[in-house]
Chain A
Amino acid sequence: MLEMNLPGSRMQVRNARVEADMFRARAVIGFLLIVICLGTLVSRYVFLQVYRGTEFSETSDKQRISVRSVAPSRGLIYDRNGVLLADNVAAFRLEIVPEAVEGGRKGMEHLLAELGDVVAISTDDVEHFRNARAKKKAFESVPLRLKLSEDEIARFSVNRWRFPGVEVVPYLTRAYPLGPLFAHAIGYVGRIDLNELVKLDPNLYAGATHIGKTGVERWYEDELHGAPGSETVEVGADGRVRRKLDYVSPTPGKNLYLSIDARLQRATEEALGARLGAAVAIDPRNGEVLALVSEPDFDGNLFVNGIAQADYAQLMQDPRKPLLNRAIAGGFIPGSTIKPYAAAAGLELGVRTPSDTVVSTGEYHIPGQARGYRDDFPAGRVDLKLALAWSVNTYFYSLAYEMGIDRFSGFLGKFGFGAKTGIDVAGEAAGVLPSAEWLRATRNQPWYAGYTVNVGFGQGFWVVTPIQLAHALTVVAAKGANRPPHVLRATQAGIGAPVQPVPLPMPGPNVGTHAGTWKAIEEGMWLAVNGPPPSTVSGLGKEFPYAIAGKTGTAERFSRFDETWTSIATSSADRHQVLFECFTPTEDPRIAVVVALEAGHSGASDAAPIARKILDAWLKYDDDAPAPRVAEATQ
């Protein structure tokens, strides 16, 4: 206290000590406050790292790990001898990373316009691009143009610097090495469109761009497609892949082995030539389709990577309808080809015996009616055999009339007319099996007896497809056994995997129970080919090692009761739909062939020679072995 009053140095010393003490107190307080603050800070880290650690860990993983689908490679398609019919080949496509395109929406428009000068880009391409882009992130590559030509790749490479964000990317694309030959049977794949997209299983089709559109490609889509694999990747904040973490390879689609023989298919196509029509060959022992041809055809390869507008317009506007698969969806009036089945109905239902005869005067009258039904010539008294061999209409007029429409169409339904055969090629049509019920249901009209007479020889309301007729023919050839036609013979889980035979489709109910039925029909059809004129196709079986049984059909495309018949400018060669059906060898048939042409003079003159050419070709390729898959099916 005293020192307080002392001047000079002592006071400064005193002050210095007080100051130092005060400083020390303040320093301690400050330090404690700092420790408290930093303790609070650490407690925040404890909260984040321990209390919420797992949660943040998951968040961190979720934003860096991304699982992407890897599209499987599509199954290949082979013929019965291992000839490749549908392949996957390497191609190049143009892809755009939208994010890398400068100038936003306008920049993209500009880019697309500029790109169009270098490679051809259709409005279709742009539309597909827009749709695909809407579903992807900005940094993900979106395909714009598929299957670039070498010229286009070269041109793009030179101009590459003009197009940031655009790249040429390799990919696998579908290719059909035999082109038009299998365009109808195998069909084609195309880009998945919006309608398909909503129906598809998003898990199965993740990353997929194509889908089977028609034919076998469509029917066996599930088998051919396979299952996608996945790729687990680490992505950066920008979404780009930095590292692969895991890879589950996709399960490739199954390879399919068809029963069709590409060589016979080729011969069939050549035999048909430029005629509009279809031809089908089936092994009656098991229902395996050996050839399935529809003319005119087109190149399925055009459709795979987006068909050019001009090509598509041409196919659509072509009056010959090249896109129509006439073999399974072409509607033909069967004409006299229906007679063997009508005969079977008569025999089985007890309306006729093989030896019963009918007199043909050249014109048939329903008892009590004035209207006459024409026969080609007055054949006189004929039994079933001659009626089939000479195609005597009167025999079948009276048969149908006596049987009545209900029994007639009821029995012919057993052969599969009026319903899809169920062949494993997409796009089949059902045709029309005329019946009183059908007429009432579809046109609300009553049935007249005259209709029955007409229907009895394959005219009036009838619509059959070549595959239906061929199937019915195999029933006759196989003596009543009902083997559904089909094209898939075996599958393979991948290249190198064992080829697994596919069981035969479930057989339909046997048609007919009387052994004599089939023998009588077969004899009549044999005589048609091998008898002297007026047998319809006399001489067709000449110099063929096996006995052939066959039946012609010449159906009138134009009604002779109205103006059209007399006014048509076309020659008689165009007036008819002409058909021929045959099988061989008669004792144990191994092939049944149906040829149907949209226009021709007669079944005998136009369709039958084509069928003979097909049989000649078949001889070269037939190995004479018992049908292998019959045994398997009965096991």
Chain B
Amino acid sequence: MMLAFEQLGPRLRLLARRWLRAPALDWPLALALVLLAGIGLVNLYSAGGPDTKVALNQGARFVLGAMLMVLLARVSPQSLRKWTPWLYAGSVFLLLVVAVLGEGRGAHRWLDLKVFRFQPSELSKLTMPMMAAWVLSRGELPPKFSSLAIVGALIAVPAWLIAKQPDLGTALLVVAGGMFAIFLAGMAWWRIGLVLATAAAASPFAWHFMHDYQKKRLFTFLDPAADRLGDGWHIMQSEIAVGSGGLWGKGWQHGTQSALEFLPEHTTDFAFAVFSEEWGLIGVVAVILIYIFIVGRGLMIAATARDTYSRLLAGSISMSFFVYVMVNGGMVAGILPVVGVPMPLISYGGTSVVALLAGFGMLMSIHNHRRPAH
């Protein structure tokens, strides 16, 4: 180890020493993430029941994600920007590979690299805001129609590929990542209004393109009792879990809904239902406040960023984070349909944790290379 260290060039050695001495992180953001990860692990320990492997695995992913975050915090936004088109192209390529070769139960999402398996769509969650920021930062702001059209097309390609897998949740996050960049770039309000109106008008047509299982989910969402033993079961049991938690919760490891397996997917999609049951409204409010803090802190970092690319990237990553919370929290509480979006850092799931923390690594990097205060 030491030998290898000595063999490094003097410049690299200097760099490595500096890294090790002071990991340049935004401490408020890092502490909030650590707190959230801690809550996530404690909750998974309970939700996993006698199977402590779930919490241990998640812990390992946190460590991996944290390492990636620290690493990315050292990569300058300029380098990120330079690599952006290549990364984006690479992620789209991988999506195409998955479309042809992928595997996974029900949906083709996974790419088996023998050493580890990962979902290229998770990579798109990062490359999408990067690419949107890259395109938008090259032109004038507020963006002109031409650049909006380009970004729109760049969003549509991976979103389409992911939606076809089918993974509506991730597609939604990818679209959100691009859209938030456009929003923050200052897209004219009338144009935003026009897009929203078009989307609303087009939604009946979207129905036509939906898979049967997606249609069924939507029906079930509208009337869970109609499918009491099937998908409606998820929604009803999740509501029971949340509701029975009450104000103060049933207490850690005293939740019955997951322990007795009434609640399906209680470590992944519905992990937050377990949390709500055991910690009650008090716990829910506390966690939501942490999420708001993280989003707010991320936007503050964005506001102090050195250049447009960094600003848009940081802002988009922060706001996308909210989408996770909203979609998962809404699903758990029965006000949004069941789509596979995890509760960030609380739901079990390796790729998602690593991708999230990698995103925050870029935020840290932008913070490290912020505009000097006047």
Interface residues of chain A, those whose CB is within 8 Å of chain B, are 15-16, 18-20, 22-24, 26-27, 30-31, 34-35, 37-38, 41-42, 44-46, 48-50, 52-57, 59-61, 63-64, 234-238, 242
23 A-B residue pairs with Cβ-Cβ distance under 8 Å, sorted by A, are A16-B307, A19-B186, A19-B311, A23-B303, A27-B184, A30-B183, A34-B292, A34-B322, A41-B330, A48-B242, A48-B334, A49-B276, A53-B245, A53-B246, A56-B239, A56-B240, A56-B244, A57-B244, A60-B243, A60-B244, A60-B262, A64-B260, A237-B260
Chain B 257-285, CB-CB to A under 8 Å as 1, else 0, gives: 10111100000000000001000110011
**CB-CB < 8 A to A238: which residues of B?**
261
Q: Does residue B140 face the partner (Cβ distance < 8 Å to A)?
A: yes
Contacts of B303 in A (CB 8 A): 20, 23-24, 27
Bound-state CA distance A52–B334 (Å) is 14
Q: Which 6 A-B pairs have the closest CB atoms?
A: A56-B243, A60-B244, A53-B246, A48-B243, A236-B260, A237-B262
> Quick one: closest A residue to B371, CB to CB?
A20
Give min CB distance, A552 to chain B, whole Å. 77
A26-B183, A26-B186, A238-B261 in contact; A45/B256 too (CB < 8 A)?
A: no
- A237 contacts across to B, CB distance below 8 A: 237, 260-262
Q: Distance (Å) between the CB of A294 and the closest chain B CB?
A: 57
Q: How many Å from the CB of A494 to the closest CB on chain B? A: 36
Q: A41-B326, A237-B262 are in contact. List 8 more A-B contacts (CB 8 A).
A: A15-B141, A18-B141, A23-B315, A42-B284, A48-B333, A53-B247, A57-B244, A237-B260
Cα A437 to Cα B325 with chains together (Å): 94
Which of B142, B247, B284 has most A Cβ within 10 Å?
B284
Query: Which A residues lie within 8 Å of B247 (CB)?
Result: 49-50, 53
Name the residue on B nearest A53 (C-beta).
B246
Q: Which of B20-28, B164-172, B294-302 contacts A (4 or more CB under 8 A)?
A: B294-302
* A23 near B184: Cβ-Cβ < 8 Å: yes
Measured between alpha carbons, how far is A34 from B298 in the docked complex, in Å?
13
User: How far does the Cβ of A279 sit from chain B's closest Cβ, in whole Å?
Assistant: 63
Chain B contact patch, size range = 35 or more
Q: Say whether B140 contacts A38, CB under 8 Å.
A: no
Residue B291 is within 8 A (CB to CB) of chain A in the complex: yes
Verify A23–B288 contact, CB threshold 8 A.
Answer: no
Q: Which residue on chain B has the smallest CB distance to residue A51?
A: B243
Chain B residues contacting A55 (CB-CB under 8 Å) are 243
What residue of chain B has the Cβ atom nearest to residue A63's Cβ? Answer: B262
Question: Chain B contact residues: over half helix, strand or loop, or mixed?
Answer: helix
Contact, CB under 8 Å: A48 / B239 = yes
Closest to A34 in B: B322
**Distance in Å: Cβ of A14 to nearest Cβ of chain B:** 12
B335 close to chain A: CB less than 8 A? yes
Central interface residue in A26, A50, A54, A64, by most chain B CB within 10 Å = A26
Interface presence of B180 (CB below 8 A): yes
User: Are A45 and B240 in contact, CB atoms less than 8 angstroms apart?
Assistant: no
B residues at A contact (CB < 8 Å): 140-142, 180, 183-186, 237, 239-247, 256-257, 259-262, 276, 280-281, 284-285, 288, 291-292, 295-296, 299, 302-303, 307-308, 311-312, 315, 319, 322, 325-326, 329-330, 333-335
Most B C-beta atoms less than 10 A away, residue of A27, A35, A50, A55: A27
CA distance A59 to B263 in the complex (A): 13
- Complex interface: chain B residues within 8 A of A18 (CB): 141
Closest to B308 in A: A19
Residue contact A26 to B284, C-beta cutoff 8 Å: no
Asked if B295 and A34 sit within 8 Å, CB to CB, the answer is yes
In the complex the two chains form, is B142's CB within 8 Å of A22's CB? yes
Q: How far apart sit A304 and B288, CA to CA, in the bound complex (Å)?
A: 65
**Does the CB pair A53–B299 fall under 8 Å?**
no
Q: In the bound complex, what is the Cα–Cα distance between A54 and B246 (angstroms)?
A: 7
Min Cβ gap B355→A in Å is 20
Report if A60-B302 is in contact (Cβ < 8 Å); known contacts: A23-B184, A237-B262. Answer: no
Across the interface, name the chain A residue whose C-beta is closest to B264: A237
Residue with the highest number of chain B CB atoms closer than 10 Å, among A41, A56, A63: A41
| A116 to B235 alpha-carbon distance, docked (Å) | 45
Question: Contact partner of B243 among A15, A24, A52, CB < 8 A?
Answer: A52
> A49, B262: Cβ atoms under 8 Å?
no
| CA gap between A237 and B308 in the complex, in Å | 53
| Complex alpha-carbon distance, A199 and B309, angstroms | 83
- Known contacts A23-B315, A34-B322, A44 near B256 by CB under 8 Å: no
- Chain A residues with Cβ under 8 A from B288's Cβ? 38, 41-42
Q: How far is the CB of B243 from chain A (nearest CB, A)?
A: 3
> Would A45 and B281 count as touching, CB distance under 8 A?
yes
* In the complex, chain A residues whose CB is within 8 Å of the CB of B241: 60
Distance between B129 CB and nearest chain A CB, rounded to angstroms? 14
Interchain CB contact (< 8 A) of A37 among B285, B322, B333: B322
B183/A23 in contact, CB under 8 A: no
Nearest-Cβ distance from residue B271 to partner chain A, whole angstroms: 15
If A15-B140, A238-B261 touch, whether A49 touches B184 (CB-CB below 8 Å) is no
A contact residues around B141 at 8 Å (CB): 15, 18-19, 22
Q: Which residues of A contact B280 (CB under 8 A)?
A: 49
A49's nearest neighbour on chain B, judged by CB, is: B281
Chain B residue with the shortest CB-CB distance to A234: B260
CA separation between A45 and B284, bound complex, in Å? 8
- Contact check, B243 vs A34: say whether CB atoms are below 8 A apart: no
Docked-complex contact B256 and A60, CB < 8 angstroms = yes
Partner among B246, B257, B307 whose Cβ is within 8 Å of the Cβ of A49: B246
Asked if A38 meets B325 with Cβ closer than 8 Å, knowing A23-B186, A49-B276, A56-B240, the reply is yes
- Point out the residue from A26, A44, A50 that lies within 8 Å of B333, measured CB to CB: A44
CB distance B291 to A38 under 8 Å?
A: yes
Q: Which residues of the partner chain B approach A20 to less than 8 Å between Cβ atoms?
A: 303, 311
Residue from B281, B319, B326, B335 within 8 A of A30 (CB atoms) = B319
Please report the C-alpha to C-alpha distance between residue A15 and residue B276 in the assembled complex, in whole angstroms. 47
CB distance from B214 to the nearest CB of A (A): 23
A64–B296 Cα distance when bound, in Å, is 41
Question: What is the bound-complex CA distance between A23 and B307, given in angstroms?
Answer: 11
Closest to A57 in B: B244
- B262–A64 CB distance below 8 A: yes
Contact B240 A50 (CB under 8 A): no
Would A49 and B242 be within 8 Å (CB), given that A27-B299, A38-B291 are in contact?
Answer: yes
A18 to B311, CA, bound (A): 13
**Do B184 and A26 touch (CB < 8 A)?**
yes
Q: Residue on A with the closest CB to B328?
A: A41
What residues of chain B lie closer than 8 Å to A49, measured between beta carbons? 242-243, 245-247, 276, 280-281, 284
Given contacts A27-B303, A235-B260, contact A38 B292 (CB under 8 A): yes
A26 proximity list for chain B (CB < 8 A): 183-186, 315
Inter-chain CA distance A236–B256, complex, in Å, is 9
Residues of chain A with a CB closer than 8 A to B299's CB: 27, 30-31
CA–CA, A23 and B288, complex, Å:
25
Distance in angstroms between the alpha carbons of A46 and B246 in the assembled complex: 9
Minimum CB–CB distance for A15 against chain B, Å:
7
Find chain B residues with CB under 8 A from A24 CB. Answer: 303
With a cutoff of 8 Å between Cβ atoms, the chain B residues found around residue A242 in the complex are 259-260
B285 closest partner in A (C-beta): A42
Q: Which residues of A contact B284 (CB under 8 A)?
A: 42, 45, 49
**Chain A contacts for B315, CB-based, 8 A:** 23, 26-27, 30
Contacts of B244 in A (CB 8 A): 53, 56-57, 59-61
A397 to B136, CA, bound (A): 132
Nearest-neighbour CB distance to chain A for B311, whole angstroms, equals 5
A38–B326 contact, CB under 8 A?
Answer: yes
Give the distance in Å from the alpha carbon of A60 to the alpha carbon of B258 in the complex.
11
Q: How far is the CA of A27 from the CA of B301 in the complex (A)?
A: 11
Contact A46 B261 (CB under 8 A): no
Smallest distance from the beta carbon of A50 to chain B beta carbons, Å? 6
Please, which residues of chain B bring their CB within 8 A of the CB of A235? 260
Residues of A within 8 A of B262 (CB): 60, 63-64, 236-237
Q: Which residues of A contact B237 (CB under 8 A)?
A: 237
Given contacts A16-B308, A34-B322, A53-B243, contact A44 B292 (CB under 8 A): no
Chain A residues, Cβ within 8 Å of B285: 42, 45
* Bound: A61/B334 CA distance, A: 20
